Amino acid sequence: MAHLVQVGLGSGGMSVIDMLVRDLRISKVTLIEPDLLKPHNLPRHLLSSDNVGKSKLLSAVKWLKDRNANLEIVSIEAFLQDPDKQEQIHKAIKDANFGVCAVDNEEAKYQWCSLMRQHGIPWTLGEVLSGGIGGFVHTFVPGGPCYACACSYLKREGPKDSKDLEPDYSNPSGQVEEARIPASFASIQSIASLHALATLDLLDAKIVPSSFLLPLQKVEGIFSESLKKIVVNVSKNENCLFCCRSTEVVADVDDLLQKKLKELSGGLGL
Ligand SMILES: [Zn+2]
């Protein structure tokens, strides 16, 4: 029986977890989310208007229990970076078999990636592009390219299938105005379904890194065709500051320096 840990219960995250808990091999989920449901969330969220003003997390727990009564749910109502909750978050992740990231702010994605790496947990990330024109689904595995490697690759190559891209749709939370058009519920559900499938692959022990982009619309100058999967061959960036410097190496820098200084001073007879 598997334990899934997920951060984010926005429109995408709620749909992903809704699909996943119907697989009875998942016996336990830990959910991390700090927000209340707001009226503007309703057009894209599974939760109904009765839940407006209430905790997304507690409303989600009720929703999920209705669908899988035997599911054990651990709720952590907090931002991922909340210093007071780090012990609880680490404990939950340590006990988990795989993770799902469904947040849209970059800082939280990097933080999640770091937590997953520290505990050696495979995880998936879904990203709906602005305007719902398509979306990415990534699977990260221990020892493989990390989220920073993927970002660095995407900035270099771009996600497009045509050469002249203007707005940076590779960054779903980017600053380009065109990149902030809300996605439709249908687009969010489409990418959430693919995200859930990629996560179920982990459950089936298909633990391989992968990243792909699925255009959901034909967009002049961006995607020449809709529904044509674009495989993104992210490789490990040997200069990645995140995954190519182990935490031990960083922690040992001082020790190494002291050792070297000692050797030098010994050698010089000081
Ligand atoms: Zn990396």
pLDDT in tens, 23-43: 999 999 999 999 999 999 999
For residue 105, the tally of other CB atoms under 10 A from its CB is 13
**Cβ < 5 A residues, ion ligand 1:** 146, 148-149, 240, 242-243
Do residues 92 and 30 share a domain? yes
| Residue 104 near residue 172 (C-beta atoms within 8 A) | yes
Do residues 148 and 263 share a domain? no
| Residue 102 near residue 126 (C-beta atoms within 8 A) | yes
Do residues 38 and 73 share a domain? yes
Do residues 248 and 133 share a domain? no
Tell how far the Cα of 153 is from the centroid of ligand 1, in angstroms: 10
Tell how far the Cα of 113 is from the centroid of ligand 1, in angstroms: 9
- List, for residues 104-157, the tens digit of each pLDDT value: 999 999 999 999 999 999 999 999 999 999 999 999 999 999 999 999 988 845
Which domain, by its residues, includes 256? 244-270
Rounded Cα distance, 211 and 80, in Å: 24
**pLDDT at site 170:** 53
Tell how far the Cα of 25 is from the centroid of ligand 1, in angstroms: 31
pTM confidence score: 0.84
